[in-house]
Amino acid sequence: MIKDIMLISELGELALIEKIRGYFSIGDSGVLIAIGDDAAVFSADKKNIVTTSDLMSEGVHFDYTYTTFYQVGFRLVISNVSDIYAMGAVPSYLFLNMALTGKRSEEEFDDFLKGVREACEHYNAKVLGGDLSLSIKGDFYSATLIGFADRVKTRSGAKPGHNIFITGNTGDSAAGLAYLKYVKKRIPMEKNMEYTSREIDGTILDTVRRHLIPCACNPETFIDKIKAMIDISDGLLLDLYRICAESRAGALIYRDNIPVSDGVRAIASMLEMDYMDFVLSGGEDYELIITSDSDHLDDCILIGKIIKDGFFFVDSDGIREKFVPKGYTHF
């Protein structure tokens, strides 16, 4: 008898994560937040210790064809810093794991470490440890970042009536990546480096930079007004859905309020794609989605409102249209 085998690629990422959650229930252990938010939280004496861990594997999260080793290292740190900020915490200590094919050169190894170091210095994180190993079949990096928070901000604090804000443009990173996949070459920009090119338009370069040297967004100036928060790592709609799912609520999105950069429009036009696909579902922008009962947050853009149930776009003429949250998933 042949047994039916279900592959994890058929199950899908969300089902797999639910499965992991089921395996590791934490019971009554004094842990404040376990699996299911941007990071986990436990307390030591009076401090909230916030921890997140992210991995990057070659061919999935990065491709050396169009990413330098510096940029891979830089991006690894940012994805973790962004998770820590999204909890209302401040990053402190980083642990770095690397499994590398033996064919890597010393120069490539140095470049990767420089990228890690410059990102860590920028966000005040110290590298305290990790692990290094050979890999047979491709490079793999992971990092764990520990931070501290006075008051933790979760995904589950959204309530009907809250306004929904974002801290900046979305879709830039995904559009930048699409451009890089199209030109199939590295653009060796680094932090603080003035990079100009005769071949590439400046607007497009700015957008590509959002992918290669991303920023993590620190919400400290309006932290007291935040009720729920998540960082955009898998797309505006999917990450907004995660806030709503954890808060048992729905959302209206004022579609015309969503900011779109010139670079996203330019790249979408060049590649004959719909720019709103980048804006709504592109990952790795590391902007924050915030819900608040305030009508205004400095430097943030109001893009919607939390409602009891359902997901709708609202146009400026008031017409509602249902939407299905989708974004980047790994399986």
DSSP β-ladder status, 47-57 and 140-149: antiparallel
Residues 267-326 close enough to bind a copy of itself by CB under 8 A:
none
Tell me how far apart the alpha carbons of residues 156 and 41 are, in angstroms, rounded to a whole number: 14
Residues 1-30 close enough to bind a copy of itself by CB under 8 A:
5-9, 11, 13, 16-17, 19-20, 23-24, 26, 29
Nearer to a copy of itself, 105 or 196 (CB): 105
Binding flag, residue 193, a copy of itself (CB under 8 A): no
How many residues are present in the chain?
331
CA dihedral 75, 81, 87, 93 (to 10 degrees): 140
Residues 30-59 close enough to bind a copy of itself by CB under 8 A:
31, 34-35, 39-40, 42, 44-47, 49, 51-59
Least Cβ distance, residue 60 to a copy of itself (angstroms): 5
Nearer to a copy of itself, 60 or 193 (CB): 60
Name the residue type at position 245: A
Residues 101-120 close enough to bind a copy of itself by CB under 8 A:
102-110, 113-114, 116-117, 120
Nearer to a copy of itself, 139 or 287 (CB): 139
Nearer to a copy of itself, 26 or 256 (CB): 26
Least Cβ distance, residue 224 to a copy of itself (angstroms): 23
Nearer to a copy of itself, 47 or 308 (CB): 47
Total Cβ atoms within 10 A of residue 303: 22
Residues 112-171 close enough to bind a copy of itself by CB under 8 A:
113-114, 116-117, 120, 126-138, 140, 142, 144, 146, 148
Contacts for 264 with CB less than 8 Å, ≥ 6 apart:
169, 171, 172, 175, 207, 275, 278, 279
Least Cβ distance, residue 109 to a copy of itself (angstroms): 5
Greatest alpha-carbon pair distance for the chain in Å reads 64
Q: Where are the beta strands (DSSP E) in 122-265?
A: 126-134, 140-149, 163-166, 228-231, 250-254
- Judged by CB under 8 A, the number of residues near a copy of itself is 79
Least Cβ distance, residue 220 to a copy of itself (angstroms): 20
With vertex at residue 282, the alpha carbon angle to CA 276 and CA 287, rounded to the nearest 5 degrees, is: 105
CA 65 to chain centre: 22
Nearer to a copy of itself, 207 or 233 (CB): 233
